[in-house]
Amino acid sequence: MADFNYAFISLVLLLPLALLIFLYLIVRPRSVNIPLKNRHVFITGGSSGIGLALAHQAASEGARVSILARSLKKLEEAKDAVRLSTGIDVAVFAADVRDYDAISKAVDEAGPIDVLVVNQGVFVPQELAEQDMDEVKFMLDVNLLGAFHMIKAALPTMKNRVDRRPASIALMSSQAGQVGVYGYTAYSASKFGLRGLAEALQQEVIGDNIHISLIFPPDTDTPGLVEEEKRRPELTNIIAAGGGRMKAELVAKKALNGIKSGSFIIPCNFEGALLSVATAGLSPQRSFLMAFLEVVTAGIIRIVGLCFQWVWYDSIQKWHAQKKRT
């Protein structure tokens, strides 16, 4: 009996250790540090909300910062705000990410980029049956096609940079880019699209020492969210209620820390971390500890996910039943 207990305890201790060693050996790409000091950080949508918070923090970490958005007035106000808080001047570029020629011109003027943060985004929630195709197209064009435009314009000089230190392309997704949410058909599609772009692109640019990050914030207090909430369907509020809510500064801090460590997936809060483990799929993972967590919790997290779906579909059913009664 004592021999059996000894063998059982050894197995319980040895199996996780063997798995950890195995994961340590196989996780790819390898871990990396991406410095920001004295490097060029280019942030789209940098005049407001999360992008502006990123500009503040990157400037205070000693980066040379450029921001791009449509409104020159908002860009100048953002420039003044960053100067006031950090004493540093950011470069501003007024252009629409939907206009490839304008974006290319801005990128040429700005000079070679070390860290590109594709953060611009528009979100207009509505059920697809009610939403105009113009709005659907607007979200896909700005959020997804705009990301292609930015990356396509910046990539040649990023690949040929003289500074051969690791570089980064970070894409601002959303928790609605990890799980489809009622009222976000177009928005979720645009953000899910970023994931496919990111996974494929990482394989294409790893040889150039360029590292891709995908950031998944929950609801975040920004001017964009204030506008979005005016249009949010009631059921969207009910379903999205569990995602938490953050300050733009905290999202920017988590995002920059993730970018600096080359994390492919960057969650911003505890719920986001759970969601990231649940949706890990075949995405790259640099951390063998995170990989370990993904492997050992996969089953239980799937059960938690199914419970969420059960609650959401129950809410939808009750909501429709109530509408029928009134």
Ligand X SMILES: NC(=O)c1ccc[n+]([C@@H]2O[C@H](COP(=O)([O-])OP(=O)(O)OC[C@H]3O[C@@H](n4cnc5c(N)ncnc54)[C@H](OP(=O)(O)O)[C@@H]3O)[C@@H](O)[C@H]2O)c1
- Active centre residues (catalytic): 173, 187, 191
Among 119, 90, 98, 281, residue whose Cα is nearest residue 213: 119
Q: Which of 50, 65, 153, 197 binds ligand X (CB under 6 A)?
A: 50
- Exposure string over 211-246, b if 16+ CB within 10 A, otherwise e: bbbbbbbbbbbbebbeebeeebbebbebbbeebbeb
Binding track, positions 91-120, relative to ligand X; x by CB under 6 A: -----xxx--------------------xx
Locate 156 and state its tokens: 């040649």
CB of 66 to ligand X, least distance (A): 13
Q: Which of 51, 258, 272, 284 binds ligand X (CB under 6 A)?
A: 51
When asked if residue 183 is in the footprint of ligand X (CB under 6 A), the reply is no
Sign of the torsion formed by the C-alpha atoms of 185, 190, 195 and 197: positive
Residue identified by tokens 């089953």 is: 299
Binding residues for ligand X, how many (CB under 6 A)?
30
DSSP 92-141: EEE--TT-HHHHHHHHHHH---SEEEE---------TTTS-HHHHHHHII
CB of 122 to ligand X, least distance (A): 5
For ligand X, the closer CB: 112 or 272: 272
For ligand X, the closer CB: 178 or 288: 178
Site residues for ligand X, window 22-41 (CB under 6 A)? none
CB of 121 to ligand X, least distance (A): 2
Q: Which of 23, 27, 45, 150 binds ligand X (CB under 6 A)?
A: 45
For residue 29, say if its preceding peptide bond is cis, omega within 30 degrees of 0.
Answer: yes
When asked if residue 236 is in the footprint of ligand X (CB under 6 A), the reply is no
Q: Where are the alpha helices (DSSP H) in the chain?
A: 2-26, 49-60, 72-86, 100-110, 133-139, 146-159, 185-205, 223-231, 234-240, 248-260, 270-278, 288-325
CB of 254 to ligand X, least distance (A): 12
For ligand X, the closer CB: 225 or 273: 225
When asked if residue 223 is in the footprint of ligand X (CB under 6 A), the reply is yes
* Interacting residues toward ligand X by CB under 6 A: 44-45, 47-51, 69-71, 74, 96-98, 119-123, 142, 146, 172, 174, 217, 219-220, 222-225
